[in-house]
Amino acid sequence: MSHFDHSQHRKDYIILLIIWLIALAIDRAWFFLDDSIPAYDQSAHLTTALHHYRIFQNFNIFSGNWWLSLWQLTPTYRAPFVYICTVPFLILFGRGFDQASLVNLLYTAMIILSVYHLGNFLFKNRKISITASIFCLLFPILGFIRTDYLIDYGLTAIVTVTFTILTIWKDSYIGFLSWGLTILLGTGIGLILLTKPTGFIFILIPSICILISFIRKRKFIKLIQTCLSLVIAWLICSFWYGLNWLTIITSALNANQVGKGEGDPSATTIAGWLYYPQMIPESVGLPILSVSIGILLVYLIKYQFSTDLISVNLHKSARIWLLVTLVSSYIICSLGTNKDIRFILPCFPIISLILADLFNLIENIYFDRLRLATLVLSSIVLLNNLFPLPLIQAWGGKHLPNDDAKKYPLEKLINKINETDLYLRSNLGVIPVAIPQINEFTLDYFGTLADFRVYGRKLTTKLSQVEEDLQYFCWYITRDNEPSEPGESGETKRKLKSLVESSTDLKLQGDWILPHGDKMRLYHCKNPHVVVEKLSNSQSVISLEKVAISQQLILDKNNPVNYEITGSWDDLKNGILLLKWQNNQSSWDHDHAIGLGDLYCGIKCHPEGTFRVKEALATFLPKTLPLGKYQLSALYLDRRNNKVTSLNIPEITVNVTNVGTGKKSPPLDLVTRTSQLAQDLQQGKLNNIFVQIDNFNQYDPTQDYLKQIQFAANYHLQTEPNNLNWRYTLVLSQLLQRQAPELIQNLIELTKYDAQNPYAWLYLAVVYLYNFQPAQAEQKLAIAEQLKPDIPELKTLKTITNIMKFLPLQWFATKE
């Protein structure tokens, strides 16, 4: 059938709508019966979607800072498109797992429609097209992923749409339709790259084949359209990649190594190449696969001695096109070390068309009955895999709904934390556990679901960091009957559990019996570092009421200090204390956000009245500080408007000495810790810096300490532009927030005040490279080489610079 009239199209769309409605009914019935706790990956994805939901509460399309904060939410290879698509569903229907999964209905519609139009275009046969759409409903693997929340299903949808556009576009005549498809193709490619950076592999080889064909046939207009589509694609995804490209690469490489740890077969073995093919039968369903192949065999036998091969060759080019796409995707995916059936999910719409073609090769009443029986049996297989129906035991129970959430009281645990810390954001230390229901990802998700008030973070797996981790967390969870693990990780886990449960500084806040008789325990600090109290009086002026500190402070030690600050909720929440201990000779700072930036009671929570914040902290005195008496001065910096006001405090004087052993004190705040790392940065000692920063980001899950540094440093540098410690501390803050333009400007200033330091020039060169500005980087590397030619990294950076000079990416870079 070469043409479809409007009535046939209408009938087909009604059929496609019925297919989609059946998918809706099956998927929502599954979610209605399910009350499960999302596992590791699902929890991580759902948490990220919720953070996107949160940022869209302050949507401002014209704000560069808003876009920057959006792109910063996804610094890894897990790109933001699926999460952004989920936001409208979270806004309209609520913030839970079931509500987030509604976005899959959109992806299902995209897949069904794309497969239908692709089949129509390639085979000119509506029966094949509709059959392929039905297969996309019935394939068990697609049924499993539809009833989950993973970015792979969204990737499958956008890849299928883009591949359909690519297929139609390559054969379209020059005209309005062709140019329109060019724009859609560029948009599709851009969205693939904005869904998962590796998603392009599913259209890579077909695209190269098309490009070669255009060059050979000298289709110059098509080549121009190709360039236009690539420019559109880059414009769509360039801001995210420009900000995060380095972390995208490193996280993708790390993810690829996961397969080795999980024992996935490598591409150097036969098992590695058979990994995906052997999973196809259960992924597409044995009835569909076996009947399709059976019909093919009958068809080949039927025409073996026939001279009329017109019908055999009728769709030869369409079949080759689909097979090239499928086989090339399979080869590229098999080369990776990390293997999972999810990673080839975009292949299944292509497989549906190939099988639909085979399924409909022979037309007669008996085969029609066979096809109908196959579809019915496949429906039973799908339902039996998704629901506890004891129909075909051998093919059932792959992805059943369950009631984990009733057995594991994670919501009660999170509520317990929030009831205890009404006005604080809490960070829950999770001793590494080995079950899907209780781990840092699921706890982080449940904490985020509770108005973003609790964050779950995994405690260290290194023995050397145990003591430090136990200083910086105030909430801990342990579980009985943890399986023993060999090596340092297992020993660390056992030590953490023992120290938490025996600590005299912690109290048991609650415990719950889990399935199999295990007990889950929640511990809390007896003396938290930050306490918030609501006062009965109505005084709203911000006031540093009390500073409790020893008269004698010891150099090169952590010295305990207590602060009490009162004021209105919004003033306290948005305030940074700029505290300076000084005399005529020298000074040291103890700048930090009020409550260390943890004052929080919900997105729209702005309680009235006056509050008191008590801080039990430590201040560090540099060993180069001159001995003598120092006096405290205090300023209040308002984050909302950068306004700085002086705080009236009683005269507080301390004596700095180098004699004594020091008292037991709380850990240093992260602003001070980062300031100490800045000294290593100035000297080019990078080995320890990023290990420490990884820890800091665990201790402050919102990384608010980086914003505190930014406010404090920018204030100090207004009056002390040559303060190198604040300059280098600000470099670290801007680097970790990936604020390339501001970082470049700061480093330019830094090279003025620390011009003889080769590392200052080296850092500036590296940031220019990160920002795709190799010409500027080359100049700075030359200066660094002049100052210190034996820096080991110089040769590598010069090589990268020379390579980048020939890359077109720099054309889109932000100019200085």
The Cβ of residue 586 has, within 10 Å, a number of other Cβ atoms equal to 14
Same domain assignment for residues 607 and 645: yes
Residue the block writes with tokens 């800045």: 678
Same domain assignment for residues 451 and 563: no
Closest CA to 558 of 462, 464, 700, 660: 660
> Which helix (DSSP H) or strand (DSSP E) does residue 334 occupy?
helix 316-335
E strands, 107-239, in order: none
10: phi then psi, degrees, rounded to nearest 5: -65, -45
List Cβ neighbours of 132 (8 Å cut-off, separation of 6 or more): 115, 116, 118, 119, 349, 352, 353, 355, 356
Contact (Cβ atoms closer than 8 angstroms) between residue 199 and residue 353: no
Q: In this structure, which amino acid lies at residue 399?
A: H
Domain membership of residue 2 (yes or no) is: no
Closest CA to 348 of 108, 148, 166: 108
CATH number reported for the structural domain that contains residue 587 in this entry: 2.60.40.770
Domain membership of residue 403 (yes or no) is: no
Contact (Cβ atoms closer than 8 angstroms) between residue 158 and residue 195: yes
Contact (Cβ atoms closer than 8 angstroms) between residue 606 and residue 540: no
Domain membership of residue 662 (yes or no) is: no
Q: What is the pLDDT at residue 808?
A: 57
Contact (Cβ atoms closer than 8 angstroms) between residue 366 and residue 292: no
Domain membership of residue 399 (yes or no) is: no
What is the secondary structure of 92-111 as a DSSP string? HH-SSHHHHHTHHHHHHHHH
Same domain assignment for residues 53 and 144: yes
Same domain assignment for residues 189 and 302: yes
Q: What is the pLDDT at residue 486?
A: 77
Domain membership of residue 392 (yes or no) is: no
The Cβ of residue 679 has, within 10 Å, a number of other Cβ atoms equal to 14
Tokens matching residue 512: 């719950």
Q: What is the pLDDT at residue 3?
A: 46
Q: What is the pLDDT at residue 355?
A: 98
Q: Please state, in angstroms and as integers, the Cα–Cα distance from residue 650 to each residue in 562, 633, 634, 647, following that order.
A: 15, 10, 10, 10
Residue the block writes with tokens 């062709």: 178
Q: In this structure, which amino acid lies at residue 80?
A: P
Q: What is the pLDDT at residue 100?
A: 97
What's the domain count of the chain? 4
Same domain assignment for residues 504 and 534: no
Q: What is the pLDDT at residue 811?
A: 47
List Cβ neighbours of 155 (8 Å cut-off, separation of 6 or more): 82, 192, 195, 196, 199, 345, 346
Q: What is the pLDDT at residue 812?
A: 45
CA 104 to chain centroid:
19
* Residue 116 to residue 377: CA distance in whole angstroms: 22
Domain membership of residue 401 (yes or no) is: no
* Residue 346 to residue 195: CA distance in whole angstroms: 12
* Residue 728 to residue 674: CA distance in whole angstroms: 10
Q: What is the pLDDT at residue 259?
A: 67
Question: Which range marks the domain in which residue 477 is found?
Answer: 408-525
Domain membership of residue 583 (yes or no) is: yes
Q: What is the pLDDT at residue 5?
A: 64
Tokens matching residue 781: 């590397």
CATH number reported for the structural domain that contains residue 509 in this entry: 3.40.190
Q: Which residues pair with 148 in a beta bridge?
A: none
Bridge pairing between strands 506-513 and 519-525: antiparallel
Same domain assignment for residues 518 and 534: no
For the chain, how long is the longest CA-to-CA vector?
106
Residue the block writes with tokens 């449960």: 501
476: phi then psi, degrees, rounded to nearest 5: -140, 150
Closest CA to 85 of 53, 38, 57: 53
> Which helix (DSSP H) or strand (DSSP E) does residue 426 occupy?
strand 426-430
Same domain assignment for residues 272 and 257: yes
Q: What is the pLDDT at residue 663?
A: 80
Same domain assignment for residues 565 and 509: no
Same domain assignment for residues 723 and 675: yes
Q: What is the pLDDT at residue 66?
A: 95
Same domain assignment for residues 645 and 702: no
For residue 438, what is the DSSP state? B
* Residue 676 to residue 667: CA distance in whole angstroms: 14
539: phi then psi, degrees, rounded to nearest 5: -65, 125
Q: Please say which residue of 525, 559, 574 terminates a domain.
A: 525
Q: What is the 3-state secondary structure (H, E, C) of 563-597?
A: EEEEEEHHHHHCEEEEEEEECCCCEEECCEEHHHH
Contact (Cβ atoms closer than 8 angstroms) between residue 705 and residue 696: yes
| Helix 201-216 vs helix 151-170: crossing angle, to nearest 10 | 10
List Cβ neighbours of 636 (8 Å cut-off, separation of 6 or more): 542, 575, 576, 577, 578, 644, 645, 646, 647
Same domain assignment for residues 719 and 630: no
* Residue 156 to residue 146: CA distance in whole angstroms: 11
Residue the block writes with tokens 């979270």: 90
* Residue 125 to residue 120: CA distance in whole angstroms: 6
Q: What is the pLDDT at residue 2?
A: 43
Same domain assignment for residues 368 and 254: yes
Q: In this structure, which amino acid lies at residue 89?
A: F
E strands, 550-689, in order: 552-554, 558-568, 575-582, 587-589, 592-593, 610-620, 628-638, 644-646, 653-657
Cα angle 796, 800, 803 (rounded to 5 degrees) comes to: 140
For residue 36, what is the DSSP state? P
pTM comes to 0.93
C-alpha neighbours within 13 Å on the C-beta side of residue 539: 11
> Which helix (DSSP H) or strand (DSSP E) does residue 523 occupy?
strand 519-525
Q: Which residues pair with 568 in a beta bridge?
A: 610
Residues of the chain with pLDDT below 70 are: 1-6, 259-261, 304-313, 391-397, 433-434, 483, 807-816
Q: Please say which residue of 525, 544, 565 terminates a domain.
A: 525
Q: Please say which residue of 633, 657, 681 terminates a domain.
A: 657
Domain membership of residue 402 (yes or no) is: no
